[in-house]
Amino acid sequence: MDDEEARQRVLDAAEALFYERGLQAVGIDDIRAASGVSLKRLYRCFGSKHELVSAYLDRTDLRWRSALAEYVSAVGGDPREAVLAVFDWLGLWFAEPGFRGCAFINAHGELGEVAPDVAAATRRHKEALLAYLTRLAERACPGAGRALANQLLLVVDGAIVTAAVHGASGAAAAGRAAAAALLDAAEHSRAARLHRDQQVIRS
Amino acid sequence: MDDEEARQRVLDAAEALFYERGLQAVGIDDIRAASGVSLKRLYRCFGSKHELVSAYLDRTDLRWRSALAEYVSAVGGDPREAVLAVFDWLGLWFAEPGFRGCAFINAHGELGEVAPDVAAATRRHKEALLAYLTRLAERACPGAGRALANQLLLVVDGAIVTAAVHGASGAAAAGRAAAAALLDAAEHSRAARLHRDQQVIRS
DNA sequence: TTCCTTGGAGAACGGCGGTTCTCAACAGTA
DNA sequence: TACTGTTGAGAACCGCCGTTCTCCAAGGAA
């Protein structure tokens, strides 16, 4: 086993354990036992538990966002359907065995601003998600993407939290319905804005 | 100092520390030092750290929900304004110094289902909030309160999480705008339903 | 074979956690 | 005053944590 394979095995074990039990509740020795990597090599690869936590969060961010984007891009080009597909994907995720909410929200709730690295990683993750939602929203409703995406982000995070606390049932569907209503509202206000602008031009 | 006063002082200290730093990060000795209550009395009043955590969550639930309800009931009787006032109150809460998100979401994210008491308290809190939102939504949009409240809950929790991660700015306003759009959508579909029903009766 | 490096297993260390125990001080009472 | 029960301060206990260190086995090179 070379260092690269050890890194992956440690990260795999850390991901499973951190996500299931939280950051503070899993010890280095749990990760060592689950990964089969010796303590010495583990510390050579990661240096400290803090670094391992950061690596876990970084990899989770990448994997989570690319899984979402892949699903959404596969549903086709209709902008409105793309936004709604986000919630279909969330529904699939919520139903996975072992689902326990958003790794970042959980980590941030556990450590808060006391752990600046974790807080920063959480902010980066949510900002990237907001940027992605903004792209989707802008395509569905040009000119109102920013405001719509801010609202969609609330619905997404709310659905994740509700699914984690209450179990999967219904949160994704409620989120999808809310998103549809927000899309309609944004579309209506866009139409009203265009109408008003045209009147201004005519007058 | 009698036992009742000791209980309050311990709970006050526990509330501040647990909320700021998380459950596992604060030790019994921190609470003893902050409250000025001796270890012996502390254990006589609460028995264990678990019990203290439960008591902290219970009191937080009561205080949080009654503060919200008090604010909302003070804005007057208009049902739509009452729903929107929820987000005004959230905005005030987010701006408080030391705001760090929802104590229950944080606790649940930290310990998850590993701590059944904490998970149950979180579920109770969110169910009570949902029941309250359902009452408000039912008054604003009779017959569609249940579905609307499910969506509003997502927006509320999403706003809390976003405010905690990103700082207060904008989350409450975005939540208010989303809630207004959801109210409009529910009202429209109610009007459409009534219209359809009347046509059925006429035919 | 002999030497040297590498890696793994796990002991060791220093610190901190929740909880219990000891002991001295003190209040109330006869 | 002498006795009793209660209290608070903090030591003690036991176990866990992250991290480092020791020791030994294995394996390639000369």
CA/C1' separation B99–D16 (Å): 32
- Asked if A162 and B147 come within 8 Å (Cβ–Cβ), the reply is no
CA torsion B93→B68→B185→B126, rounded to 10°?
90
- Asked if B162 and A153 come within 8 Å (Cβ–Cβ), the reply is yes
Residue type, B168: A
Tokens 């391992």, residue located: A52
Q: Among candidates A201, A195, A157, A159, which has minimal Cα distance to A177?
A: A159
Of B20, B101, B186, the CB nearest to A109: B101
Q: Among candidates A113, A103, A105, which has minimal Cα distance to A11?
A: A103
* Chain A residues touching residue B165 (CB < 8 angstroms): 104-105, 108, 119, 122-123, 126
Q: What is the band of A135 on the pLDDT scale with cuts at 50, 70, 90?
A: very high
Residue B80 to residue B73: CA distance in whole angstroms:
12
Q: What is the pLDDT of residue A192?
A: 74
Closest CA of chain A from B81, distance in Å: 18
pLDDT of residue B202 exceeding 90: no
Mean pLDDT value across residues A139-168: 96
Instruction: Give me A18's structure tokens.
Output: 């951190």
Tokens 């459409």, residue located: B192
Q: Among candidates A4, A168, A25, A30, which has minimal Cα distance to A101?
A: A168
pLDDT digits (tens, 9 = 90+) for A42-51: 999 999 999 9
For chain A, the straight-line distance linking the first and the last C-alpha, in angstroms and rounded, comes to 76
The SS3 of residue A162 is helix
Residue B129 to residue B39: CA distance in whole angstroms:
35
CA/C1' separation A47–C5 (Å): 22
Q: What is the band of A203 on the pLDDT scale with cuts at 50, 70, 90?
A: confident
Q: What is the pLDDT of residue A14?
A: 98
pLDDT of residue A193 exceeding 80: no
pLDDT digits (tens, 9 = 90+) for B98-134: 999 999 999 999 999 999 999 999 999 999 999 999 9
Of B114, B147, B154, the CB nearest to A175: B154
Q: What is the pLDDT of residue B201?
A: 75
Q: What is the pLDDT of residue B28?
A: 98
Q: What is the mean pLDDT of chain A?
A: 95
Q: What is the band of B1 on the pLDDT scale with cuts at 50, 70, 90?
A: confident
Q: What is the band of A187 on the pLDDT scale with cuts at 50, 70, 90?
A: confident
Q: What is the pLDDT of residue A197?
A: 75
* Chain A residues touching residue B162 (CB < 8 angstroms): 126, 153-154, 157
Instruction: Give me A102's structure tokens.
Output: 């958003």
Cβ of B1 less than 7 A from strand D: yes
Cβ of B39 less than 7 A from strand D: yes
Q: Which residue has the higher pLDDT, B106 or B203?
A: B106
Of B104, B109, B155, the CB nearest to A105: B109
Provide the sign of the torsion angle of the four alpha carbons B55, B61, B67, B73, taken in this order: negative
Residue B128 to residue B147: CA distance in whole angstroms:
16
Q: What is the pLDDT of residue B192?
A: 73
Mean pLDDT value across residues A110-136: 97
pLDDT digits (tens, 9 = 90+) for A52-104: 999 999 999 999 999 999 999 999 889 999 999 999 999 999 999 999 999 99
Kindly write down the DSSP assignment for every residue of A130-154, as one continuous string. HHHHHHHHHHHSTT-HHHHHHHHHH
pLDDT of residue A161 exceeding 90: yes
Q: What is the band of A200 on the pLDDT scale with cuts at 50, 70, 90?
A: confident
* Chain B residues touching residue A154 (CB < 8 angstroms): 154-155, 158-159, 162, 171, 174-175, 178
CB B32 within 8 A of CB B38: yes
Q: What is the pLDDT of residue B22?
A: 98
Closest CA of chain B from A37, distance in Å: 26
Mean pLDDT value across residues B22-42: 98
Cβ of B62 less than 7 A from strand D: no
Q: Helices in A22-115 by DSSP H: which ranges?
A: 28-35, 39-46, 49-74, 79-95, 103-111
Q: Among candidates B125, B27, B107, which has minimal Cα distance to A109?
A: B107
Q: How many residues does chain A have?
A: 203
Instruction: Give me A112's structure tokens.
Output: 């808060």
Q: What is the band of A123 on the pLDDT scale with cuts at 50, 70, 90?
A: very high
Kindly report which listed range (A135-139, B74-78, B94-98) carries the lowest average pLDDT score. Answer: B74-78
Q: What is the pLDDT of residue A77?
A: 87
- Asked if A178 and B182 come within 8 Å (Cβ–Cβ), the reply is yes
Of A20, A110, A182, the CB nearest to B110: A110
Q: What is the pLDDT of residue B128?
A: 98
Q: What is the pLDDT of residue B76?
A: 82
Mean pLDDT value across residues A165-192: 91
B159 → chain A, closest CA residue: A154
Kindly report which listed range (A4-8, B63-67, B137-141, B191-195) carries the lowest average pLDDT score. Answer: B191-195
Q: Which parts of the protein come within 7 Å of strand C, by CB position?
A: A 1, 6, 37-41; B 26-30, 39-40, 43, 48-50
Residue B149 to residue A36: CA distance in whole angstroms:
48
